[in-house]
A = this chain, B = another copy of it.
């Protein structure tokens, strides 16, 4: 069951079933929690981190979740580097969790909607990741698991401040909610930068596809709350949902304008993206993401029909990443080999489907 995670690109969040999925790729809620009376990861020794890992493992195994959301426990030290890379590419762990540090763990559900990083920046980082705009539902789910875990674990909590975390920016609710949005026409028309500026003033952070410090590729951005203290969890969720709906409105409006004003240019862009993705012999990850963005826009706007048999466009986005590719090829590869394998994979995936 767990092996599947490393061989298939499908995660629940990539299946494209959520509301407003033509623009909102996924919704994510993350809770930071730390065990009472044990120093937090930046300050703990190896024996302390070991205790955290073992206690969390026990708690995770005690918690009863049904069906596909049942949790499995992994020790990162036992995973090959390539598999850790794939977890990152599927947004199941953070780039920071890749660092070789002792006693790092991951609890994960088979459908990959729930994951808990152990001993990353905080003792526990619980994540719920759903397709489309479903922050409410993601929050409910996270809250439920948080409550279940609290039956087995005592979390560091202060009446005045709320949950205590390693980094002060997470203190309080420990809640970080984020959405991943695909806004190609706002990027094309240079509206995105203005919108991001406004979002910043409203207390939201905007980042690229793989979190802090990563640049945006393929017109995909993550928008998240920056404030964790002084607001109720439901307020945080409501505010981000509302802001996301406004981004969706703006992107939809711009799509309508472009479709009316320059349908030929849009069709051209989409056609070229398909033509290159299905015929190139060398394809970088960045180019693949940018072309997938164009293709996705074309499908959303009904400019083309694309009959992909197995993977959809979000899954191809994950497939485009270096780690997944190497797993697919069954060996580590240099950059040119990766770009060649990626190109081969896209030719395969797109030609098995259809286009018109």
Contacts and interface: CB of A to CB of B under 8 A. Distances in A.
22 contacts: A264-B282, A264-B336, A264-B340, A265-B281, A265-B282, A267-B281, A268-B280, A268-B281, A268-B343, A271-B279, A271-B281, A272-B276, A272-B279, A272-B280, A274-B275, A275-B276, A275-B277, A275-B278, A275-B279, A275-B280, A276-B276, A279-B355
Contacts of A280: 268, 271-272, 275
Contacts of A271: 279-281
Contacts of A267: 281
A324 to B, nearest CB: 21
Nearest to A343: B268
A336 B267 CA distance: 13
Contacts of A343: 268
Which secondary structure characterizes the binding site on chain A? helix
A268 B280 CA distance: 5
A280 to B, nearest CB: 5
Which 4 residue pairs are nearest across A and B when measured between Cβ atoms? Answer: A275-B275, A275-B279, A268-B281, A271-B279
Contacts of A276: 272, 275-276
Interface string A245-267: 00000000000000000001101
A324 B129 CA distance: 56
Interface string A269-299: 0011011111111100000000000000000
A252 to B, nearest CB: 23
Interface size class of A (residues with CB under 8 A): 10 to 19
Contacts of A274: 275, 279
Contacts of A278: 275
A69 to B, nearest CB: 42
A267 B275 CA distance: 14
Contacts of A355: 279
Nearest to A340: B264
Interface in A163-192: none
Contacts of A264: 281-282, 336, 340
Nearest to A266: B281
A146 B265 CA distance: 52
A279 B269 CA distance: 9
A264 B265 CA distance: 30
A230 B272 CA distance: 54
Contacts of A336: 264
A278 B272 CA distance: 9
Contacts of A268: 280-282, 343
Q: Choose among A265, A267, A272, A277 the residue with the greatest number of B CB atoms under 10 Å from its CB.
A: A272
Given A274-B279, A276-B276, 4 more contacts: A272-B275, A272-B276, A272-B279, A275-B280
A203 B279 CA distance: 43
Nearest to A269: B281
A262 to B, nearest CB: 10
Nearest to A274: B279
A263 to B, nearest CB: 9
A281 B275 CA distance: 11
A165 to B, nearest CB: 48
A275 B278 CA distance: 7
A310 B265 CA distance: 29
